[in-house]
Structure 1
């Protein structure tokens, strides 16, 4: 029987190490599918992160680099400046990008570096034990906020996409999710638009993807998807926050 849905050549055969219900596998596949459909496997360089996405270079069948914690945008900047004809993207979680990597992320956008950031937001540090991250929701319980996040102790959730959209150097900023088939399709379209923005030389692009973390949230995979839809989306609204591309392209 012929297969109608197969693994893209831009992914290796290595089995995922992610927890059941984790959305990283979906997001990895979407990035890989877009690279393959654009015919850019030989011209793409991925820059990984420290956290649950740390092994992305073992899954993406493209050239890749593993940087220090939070430094992916800085490394991607150097790669892109040396190889301006390549598609260069980072793959980072919220602990990596929105905490230790804040400086690198913000100033890459301020300078209008012609790179793309894939930002996976699951509201906490997934790999290291479920600690509070800058993106943790108000009242959300984590291993470091057992009674729930409060304004007095930790301030408010960090809305990365909204901040980057205000910068002159940012060219495409979107926030998507993968809690339903329709949202998966929208995420794939946003990733493609971000890559096209880079290929057009327009500047910094980022797609923030709201993602489930059933293990650290203490929820079933299905309940975790509901959490994304019902708890995260009201705080982090979905959509394109900024686009300098011609919609007809």
Structure 2
């Protein structure tokens, strides 16, 4: 009886190891992306809310496509493609948002239309950390000036009226969130409002990707982690079985 209890103790030990491991769905990090989103209160009290367009999430759906977005007088785009994926073996996540044929008329009265052939945001989270980047192709900023194809993180251009800022445009905005994740907004327009807020108030984002932090490399409750646990079970059960067999022979 004591010998059998020894074998049972080995099984209970492995079962406890599996039970203590975090669920596979909770161990890896999260990732998400979308093409455009806006929440504005324009001059005259007109509220404009739309998006997020073509939202994707590592938990599903992992890809998104939207034919075109058209908010008259504010934003017009071509095709939006997004993706957000997770590698359960490494715990890493990746997300990407690409918006084509962007025309931003929200600031047209102050700067002229802002246009771009492609607006892309991307981020990656690995065990080494979280990084992000933005790329712009065929950009035209009207009277706002110029911006690099791959802007430095948090490149800011202010829009003013008679010397007072009424809007702010951030390219390759990178926001470190409290949970350790990173949000990359390729273009983020903020209407400041106030007494001279000639355009209104609110925010508009074109191409956004959020990643991380990375999850555990091998979730114990699924996939490779499950096979690892079964291997541990074999390492414990086989020697225990041998002890049982030897003792039975000795008793005989």
TM more than 0.5: no
More strand by share: 2
TM-score (norm 2): 0.31
Query: Which structure is higher in RCO with an 8 Å CA cutoff and minimum separation 6?
Result: 2
